[in-house]
Amino acid sequence: MEPIKVRVCVGTNCCFAGGESIIEALEDDADLAGFVKVEAIRCLDKTCAGGAESPVVTVGERLIKRATLEVVMEEIERQALPLILGAPDEEGRDA
């Protein structure tokens, strides 16, 4: 499977609002290795609105403002589970 791309803004606003701790936690999480690709990125066109919406993280296509580790992990799980388990069969059992 193609790993899910998680991009974390490490511009100064986002770093200070917790972006740095999110990216460190994702990189240190051995369970995520292989199906999540973590990338530190520069400011996304001031999406953070001067820090009010920091930190900014994207998981796959989804943009998360005021991201927390909990929300990012939840989104990773939501996107990753179908990839890991495959689509459930007709009776709803896991593949």
Partner 1 sequence: MPEVFERMRGLYTPCTDIRRKIFIGITRFVLSGKKPEDIDYLPFSIIDMGKPTYRCCSYKELSIVRQRVRLAFGLPLIEERNNTPVSAGIGQAFTRSKVLAAPIVNVITAACEKCPEDKVIVTNMCQTCMAHPCSIVCPVNAISFPEGGQAFIDQKKCIKCMKCVKACPYQSITRMVRPCAAACGVDAIHSDADGYAAIDQDKCVNCGLCTVSCPFAAISDKTELVQVLHQLMGPEESRPYALLAPSFVGQFGRLASPGAIAAGLRAVGFRGVREVALGADCDTILLAKRIAERKAGAAGIVEADEGASAAGVAASAPAAPRAFLGTSCCPSWVMTARRHFPAFAGNIAESFTPMVETARLIKEKDPGARVVFIGPCIAKKAEALEPELRPFVDHVLTFEELAAIFVAKDIDLAAIGPSEFPAEASSLGRGYAVAGGVAGAIAETAEKKYGAPPLAVAKADTLRNCRTMLSEIKAGKSSPDLVEGMACPGGCVGGPGTLMGLAAAKSEVGKFAGLAATRLPECECGGEE
Binding residues for partner 1, rule: CB under 8 A, are 10-13, 15-25, 40, 42-43, 50-51, 68-69
**Residue 55 or 59 having the CB closest to partner 1:** 55
What span, in angstroms and rounded, lies between the C-alpha atoms of 23 and 32? 12
State the minimum distance, in angstroms, from the CB of residue 67 to partner 1: 10
**Residue 55 or 80 having the CB closest to partner 1:** 55
Q: Give the CA-trace dihedral at 54, 25, 61, 64, to 10 degrees.
A: -30
Q: What is the DSSP letter of 16?
A: I
**Residue 4 or 18 having the CB closest to partner 1:** 18
State the minimum distance, in angstroms, from the CB of residue 50 to partner 1: 5
- Tell me how far CA of residue 52 lies from CA of 11, 65, 74, 93, in angstroms: 13, 9, 22, 43
State the minimum distance, in angstroms, from the CB of residue 24 to partner 1: 5
For the beta sheet containing 57-59, the strands, ordered from the edge strand earlier in sequence to the opposite edge, are 36-41, 4-9, 57-59, 62-64
State the minimum distance, in angstroms, from the CB of residue 58 to partner 1: 16
